[in-house]
Amino acid sequence: MPKLMIVVGSVRQGRIAEPIAQWARRTAEADGRFDVDLADLREINLPMMDEPNHPRLGDYTHRYTMDWSERVAAADAFLFAFPEYNYSFAPAIKNAIDYLSAEWNRKPVGFINWGGNSAGTRAQTALRPVVAAVGLVITKPNVEINFAQKQLDDDGAFIPNEQQATVLAAQLDELVLLDGALRPLRG
């Protein structure tokens, strides 16, 4: 069973990232094809990347980097859930990527993005070259949500519309296919 890591990529107080990531988690768990690990970057609390060596050497000096490395290495596929800030990605997700190298290589990733009018499309576009640099392979379908606050129910849970649910389902299918194709290429 592929291990799917869902990365919660906003760390600010009052973030909508949490209910959106919880929707992804519920959906992936109900799907039944994944062993899901929710990686909340607020809990993980990595400082700004401060390792002295280039991550491609895997020569980490901090306990928190070793823990992050072990957790990412154990994953077979990823969903990155992150918002758009100032026409680009929110910074925590880029920082979490920068810490590591080989742990990402030849693994699939799907994006779940949100924002105002943009629905997070500029954040998604900005992160594409970053994930390519570490060898992640992005799915074709990617979830984009505008004004996500309108989709919270009275308990604060994110309720997807039909299109968002369809895209997430297609993304999960694609993660399974890409994991199967890329797995033999991983060491």
CA distance 144 to 142: 6
Residue closer to ligand FMN, measured from CB, 65 or 164: 164
Segment near ligand FMN (CB under 6 A); pick from 77-85, 124-132, 135-143, 175-183: 77-85
Total residues at interface with ligand FMN (CB under 6 A):
15
Alpha carbon of 57 to those of 26, 70, 73, 98, 101: distances in Å?
36, 15, 15, 13, 8
Q: Does 126 bind ligand FMN (CB under 6 A)?
A: no
Q: Does 113 bind ligand FMN (CB under 6 A)?
A: no
Q: Does 15 bind ligand FMN (CB under 6 A)?
A: yes
Among 95, 101, 118, 125, binds ligand FMN (CB under 6 A): 118
User: In the window 17-76, what residues touch ligand FMN (CB under 6 A)?
Assistant: 17
Chain residue at closest Cβ approach to ligand FMN: 115
Find the shortest distance in angstroms from Cβ 140 to ligand FMN. Answer: 22
Q: Does 115 bind ligand FMN (CB under 6 A)?
A: yes
Q: Would you say the C-alpha torsion 5, 129, 158, 91 has a positive or negative sign?
A: positive
CA distance 96 to 105: 14
8 Å CB contact between 111 and 136: no
> What residue type is 21 in one-letter code?
A
